Structure 1
Amino acid sequence: MVRIRQLSALKVKQNLEPGMYPDGLGLYLQVGPGNAKSWIYRYRTNGKLRDMGLGPAHSVTLAEARERADECRRARQAGLDPIEERLKKKQAAHATAAHAITFQECAATYIESHQAGWKNTKHAAQWTATLQTYVYPVFKNTPVADIDRELVLKVLRPIWNEKTETAVRVRGRIEKVLDWARINDYRHGENPARWKGFLDNLLPRRAKVAAVKHHAALPFGQLPAFMRDLRDEASVAARAFEFCILTATRTNETLGMRWDEIDEAAGLWTIPAQRMKAGRDHRVPLSRRALAILTEMRQIRMSDYVFPGGKERRPLSGMVFSMKLRRLKRTNVTAHGFRSTFRDWAAEQTDFPNEVVEMALAHTISNKVEAAYRRGDLFEKRRQLAEAWAAYCGGQSSDEVQVHRAL
């Protein structure tokens, strides 16, 4: 109490602003709102008055505050700015801590923070698997700040020509992790995994070393016979496969279909945005045959999934279509390839406009101007296309289907 009165008397003498009580030689006790007290070292540099906080009075004693103020004065005598010197020390400490964080630690944090937004639950596992296989053997425990071009190339060069598609994914994942590290101040400068303007000058383009491999597709002329074989099999997997082909949807879209997505009265299946590659709702018109399959499945309904797996609360496994193809001795094609079969049939056997077919496949419109002006989804025209496709899958000829030629 005596000390506060002494500081108050000195304050009056020096005509200081309210709440500032001098101890001498630049040290002040500052009393703020709610009677909060803290120590301040006040000095002038380049004509500018600066206040440097030395800590709250409840945890820093007067003796400690005077010692800290002495350190500030010594810095000033050496021609240094105490505030700037403290900032430099903090930055140095941060740099030391940043240099200690490894690429693997950054990658783990990146995956953890992003996996909630990845639609495919297997994506995080794929990320981890590729990093463990190709990246970590080279720079698993290397500080992320030390990752350079040579280390990145050491990962990519052995697989660039032989496993090009995998190498491209690995490069992209390294780039994303390093970008994340830079944004979080764990590294600085150029990203050594960047392709355009950097690695594209050091590695051959993907098209030069590996042609893009499309999903193997069944020629549409062989489709009716395949569908007959598929319909002869009485299983949930066979019905799911047939339904997937009839709707020209992706495998995961069909396998994940739930009953609350179906409006059987309207002949409509609405796939929610979170399950779509394009990230928006997709309406699928259902042909009579597709609706008949749903009627079969409703009679044995045991869960919220239309095509339940062995465990009632889960859908069929993503491998069931591949297994079905093996049983039917069609190992030269893929389930996804039937979308190409549909596309080829529509182009060569019908006069349905291209935009109707593309909309049926839920492809995004590459032309930005066209995309901006198109509001509808050509649903009724796609319904006619769906019936024509179902009829062809059922063995009817193009003439019997009576394909519409002037939609």
Structure 2
Amino acid sequence: MRATKRLSSQFVRSAPVGKHCDGAGLWLVKRDDGGAQWVLRVTVHGRRREMGLGGFPNLSLAGARKQAEHWRSVAADGRDPVKEREAERRAVQRADISLAVLTADAFEARKAELKGDGTAGRWLSPLNIHVLPKLGKVPVTDLDQRDIRDTLAPIWHTKADTARKALNRLSIVMRHAAALGLDVDMQATEKAKALLGKTRHVPKNIPAMAWADVPAFYASLEEPTLTHLALRLLILTGMRSNPLRNIRLDQIEGDVWTVPADAMKGRKGATDAFRVPLSLEARRIIEMARPHARNGFLFPNTRKGVISDMTLSRHMERRGLAARPHGFRTSLRTWLAEATDAPHEVAEAMLAHVVDGGIVRAYRRTDFLEQRSKLADRWADLATGGAGQVVNLAGKGC
């Protein structure tokens, strides 16, 4: 048996710089700055583990020996003392297992999967607004389907999409809690959905402008203001408002605008940046907007950041139009279906939609940029008052 208790209290108080063994893996490490640390070395499953026990004199020689004895017994049972101590610390931190605490923990774990690390706060919004004010203090282990039903019932039929998102987020939080070892009802959200029944809410599509009316509207955007220029580029590219409003000069190279993957929405399963072909007209609009650029952004706000989505929407509202900026994506997609022979996957790629499964995409390593460039040119031709002829992707336009 290894010798133990080699050190004395008197020696520990005046120990020179260096490592001093008390026996059975317990060491006193004296530093140059005069401080000292207790360290325990044990072997678990053939692997040496080293853990700090505390500093001297806050942890006395007797205290260090007591801790070392405890952790040696843990190692003797075949358990890693470092992991065991970490688990104990997590258990203490989880003493508060309220829904609010577990929601924050689940969000933190998922941040890397969310656009911009979830800084926009949209992932949490349905819970923060409609669930946590009522259930935030309830321990997740006590949460059942009746609690969830009673909380979401007021918005189940009036704000169906928000309620659905809240239910989905709750399900994620419950799975996160279960993964932490908490005894939660994994079926609580599904049972709550059954109790709530089928929603009466009928979703409404965003109003879109008929593609035949786009040229007249495009021509009306004749002023070189940021609003007019942004709307023109929005129409020409078919992109969503967010990446368009946040377009940066360093994302544009020649006739291609490369949108970072984390700025794209609705491309689940896609991890690459998205290339947007720029027609001659789109490049002309970009050049007109360049004098407005600030801090690298092509469409900056007057104070900071970029122009808001409401700026574009309100412009169309003031014009008495039912259509909204996002609706131009529908205009483009309808034109592609009615006036071109673009294959489905190419037409969907024009709107940055992800089609087919991951295996198919893995083998089809193309973003159809060349075909989309031709379509973008014809769409720009139509928008600027040209014929926007039927496009034959197999040959020349007819």
Shorter chain as denominator, the TM-score bin is 0.7 to 0.9
Distance in 1 separating the partners of 2:111 and 2:192: 27
1:317 corresponds in structure 2 to 308
CA contact (8 A) 1:287 1:383 kept: yes
Compare 114-123 and 246-255 and name the one that shifted more.
114-123
Compare 112-121 and 286-295 and name the one that shifted more.
112-121
CA contact (8 A) 2:339 2:390 kept: no
Distance in 2 separating the partners of 1:238 and 1:275: 23
The SS at the match of 1:362 is coil
Instruction: In structure 2, give the amino acid aligned to 1:188.
Output: D
1:306 corresponds in structure 2 to 298
1:9 corresponds in structure 2 to none
Q: CA deviation at 1:199?
A: 4.2
Equivalent residue runs for 1:387-398 within 5 Å = 387-398=377-388
Q: Which residue, out of 94, 97, 100, partners 1:101? A: 97
Q: CA deviation at 1:298?
A: 2.4
Higher Cα Rg, which structure: 1
Q: CA deviation at 1:34?
A: 6.2
Distance in 2 separating the partners of 1:114 and 1:338: 32
Distance 1:201 1:217, change over 3 A: same
Q: CA deviation at 1:293?
A: 0.6
Instruction: Kindly report structure 1 stretches of 4+ aligned residues shifted beyond 6 Å.
Output: 55-58, 91-97
2:275 equivalent to 1:283: yes
1:294 corresponds in structure 2 to 286
1:203 corresponds in structure 2 to 196
Q: CA deviation at 1:130?
A: 2.8
Distance in 2 separating the partners of 1:371 and 1:100: 44
The SS at the match of 1:305 is coil
Distance in 2 separating the partners of 1:316 and 1:157: 36
Distance in 2 separating the partners of 1:298 and 1:129: 35
Q: CA deviation at 1:94?
A: 8.4
2:331 equivalent to 1:335: no
Instruction: In structure 2, give the amino acid aligned to 1:218.
Output: M
Q: CA deviation at 1:154?
A: 1.3
Q: Which residue, out of 339, 361, 372, partners 1:371? A: 361
2:49 corresponds in structure 1 to none
Count of residues in Structure 1 that have an aligned counterpart in Structure 2: 339
Distance 1:92 1:146, change over 3 A: farther
Distance in 2 separating the partners of 1:301 and 1:93: 51
2:226 corresponds in structure 1 to 236
Q: Which residue, out of 162, 183, 191, partners 2:179? A: 183
CA contact (8 A) 2:99 2:135 kept: yes
Equivalent residue runs for 1:126-275 within 5 Å = 126-185=122-181, 187-195=182-190, 198-205=191-198, 209-229=200-220, 231-264=221-254, 267-275=255-263
2:18 equivalent to 1:18: no
The SS at the match of 2:282 is helix
CA contact (8 A) 1:98 1:145 kept: no
1:344 corresponds in structure 2 to 334
The SS at the match of 1:169 is helix
Q: CA deviation at 1:305?
A: 0.8
CA contact (8 A) 2:292 2:298 kept: no
Q: CA deviation at 1:171?
A: 0.7
Compare 130-139 and 116-125 and name the one that shifted more.
116-125
Distance in 2 separating the partners of 1:368 and 1:303: 37
Distance in 1 separating the partners of 2:262 and 2:126: 25
Q: Which residue, out of 375, 380, 385, partners 1:385? A: 375
Distance 1:205 1:291, change over 3 A: same
Distance in 1 separating the partners of 2:305 and 2:117: 14
Instruction: Give the TM-score taking structure 1 as reference length.
Output: 0.72
Distance in 2 separating the partners of 1:203 and 1:258: 45
Runs of 5+ unmatched residues, structure 1 = 1-16, 22-29, 39-54, 70-82, 84-90
Specify which structure has the higher proportion of helix: 1
1:120-140 Cα shifts (integer Å, max 9, x gaps): 577653344432432134222
Distance in 1 separating the partners of 2:109 and 2:390: 53
Q: CA deviation at 1:243?
A: 0.3
Distance in 2 separating the partners of 1:402 and 1:388: 8
Instruction: In structure 2, give the amino acid aligned to 1:228.
Output: A
Distance in 2 separating the partners of 1:307 and 1:94: 46
Q: CA deviation at 1:20?
A: 5.8
Q: Which residue, out of 349, 353, 368, partners 2:343? A: 353
The SS at the match of 2:283 is helix
1:74 corresponds in structure 2 to none
Q: CA deviation at 1:212?
A: 3.6
Distance in 1 separating the partners of 2:280 and 2:336: 19
Distance in 2 separating the partners of 1:328 and 1:384: 32
Q: CA deviation at 1:258?
A: 0.6
CA contact (8 A) 1:388 1:403 kept: yes
Instruction: In structure 1, give the amino acid aligned to 2:308.
Output: S
1:291-321 Cα shifts (integer Å, max 9, x gaps): 111121224444311122213x522122221
Distance in 1 separating the partners of 2:107 and 2:345: 37
2:394 equivalent to 1:406: yes
Distance in 2 separating the partners of 1:272 and 1:355: 21
CA contact (8 A) 1:220 1:345 kept: yes
CA contact (8 A) 1:174 1:193 kept: no
